[in-house]
Structure 1
Amino acid sequence: MNKIILFLTPSFYPHIGGVEKHVLYLSQELIDRGYQVHIVTQSAKGERNETYKGIQIHRFSCDPLNKFQVWMQMFRYVPVFLSADIVHAHDVYWWYFIMRFFLPWKKVYTTFHGYEGSALPSKKAIRSRKLAEWFSWGTICVGVWMKKWYGANPESVMYGAGNESPSPVPKNNSAVYIGRLSEDVGIIQYIQGIQLLSGELTLDIYGEGELTRRVKKMIELTPFIQYRGLTSDVKTVLRSHRFACVSRYLGMIEAMQIGRKVFAHWNNEIKKDYLSSFPQFSTIETFSTPAEFAKKLTHLLKNSKKEKEDIQTAQRWAIRQTWGNMADMYEELWKT
């Protein structure tokens, strides 16, 4: 009988994001290896249970911040928990916490993907992570920086994966921003930096978030910056631009596989460490202010040799970051 893996994740397909993509592609790889995969996740916009690409998705709806409501929902899935050989939480171990007392023998693991919001971790957040780590049979951290900021002691550290293929760099001076339109990922700084160059470079913006209205207002009189909304075709978007403005590991790896120079913004010390601990940190350009961003862009526009060297170095590493290798790490963890 095929082993059954149950993933708990705060959000999943059809939503777009790093964790969603991580769980989706990992699940597909595991199904190809003969596993059955179930997902328990929150419902939004009236989504229902479904099977997608062989993944059985179970959705629930309640206040996601109310522990007792979430725990009551978990009892609906006791049969699914009982049938699973492995339960693996993505950031939301606390969903399962109540089940730990009813199913103490069940093997439960956790992957920690990032940090909460745009502020430094609170003592409460650190305690919550340590508790999840203590109750888990094993953990994975997406980035070694978590050891410093959360006192994490994971069995494995990973950075993400991709399945993109190289594409020639376009000759036009263009950049693309792909991500949430929020303060912590630096969309305002990206826009202001491009504006300082007065049209030397175009910028296309893909994403949504709490700053969407402000972004549209900022670029009303800037013809070389365009807001494009959401996209599900990241590959095509990246291939049609020279520079990639992305600041999360998964997005950086995809851009590097395609062969694009990456620019990433940091706004506090934890994000700075997040970026500096990335294995290909030396090949990306990081900045905190619009002026710094504009200066680095100007330098690269005049120095294509450095751009080419950095792209080649990053690409050699990135193409080895496959979903198959990631699945290997998960399988190794589940042996503990």
Structure 2
Amino acid sequence: MLGSVRLAASSLIAALALAGCSLATVKTDDAVTQVSSLPAIIAHRGGTGDAPENTLEAIRLSIEHHADAIWLTVQLSQDGVPVLYRPADLSALTDAKGPVSAFTAAELARVNAGWNFRRAETYPYREHPAAIPTLREALRAMPAGMPVILDMKALPAGPQTHAVARVLDDENAWQRVSIYSTEADYQRSFAAYPQARLFESRDATRGRLVRVLLNQGCVDAPAEHAMAAFELHRALTVVEKFTLGEGRSDVQATLWTPAAVACFRQKPDVQIVAIAVNDADDYRTAACLGIDAVLADSPAKMAAIRNGIALPLRCTRSGTTGGQ
């Protein structure tokens, strides 16, 4: 085991052990509320801002920096072993090239996943390689109670789903693991496992957020106990259809707003994760919105930000922070 972890008590259990409630707020007047707890911090790809992503070194540092949960990216090796790697080709991050599926787990263990990791002007992991680990190794490297979110990459979904399920069975890890994917095929394939904890499909989350953003109302709010994850801010392309063509406009939209959160919270115990929260302003905004957890690249940076926020945090009606 790589070390001990400081649990964020009720907010962590609520957001990621999947049994809780939204963040506590106290109303002070019509314009200002006070937030008495802060979102849990999830280490994105193990903590990609602090160490080579999806490696045991990233996990070790995230635990050291008091991340509340770990988000890991899973693909399947040639010999059917779930391993941790994100891009379609090894050349994106490593000293090898080709798809993960072209290599056995043993061969991937000899690949340097830190080859292209840059810190300042140096590549520190070229002299100190960081291997591509298996999912089993990663689970065993973490404290037994630490929540884990597995982001499923690569298709077809079926073989990877079954391989991951075998690992979770062997490691008795279903209770601390939840499943996310941008591919709806994984929601369908994991539905065969009643013990699986699944985020709703990204398409469902996106559609609901956009409809709220466009003032179309809250359509088909999530069921109770649902989990949803989407970026706090996201580049969108607005397409306007004409009789003889179309017009396009690129916009940077804030998807999680007070109205969006209210829509998702219509049923009890709906958990919300805001993706790509990497600075103090966005973290405070997420806290004021009542977001359960944020997905952050650097747990080291975000832990410092969280530790620097005095509670209760004063928030305006718009979901932003007010004066201290």
**TM class, shorter-chain normalised?**
0.3 to 0.5
TM normalised by structure 1 equals 0.32
TM normalised by structure 2 equals 0.33
Tell me which protein shows more helix as a share of its residues: 1
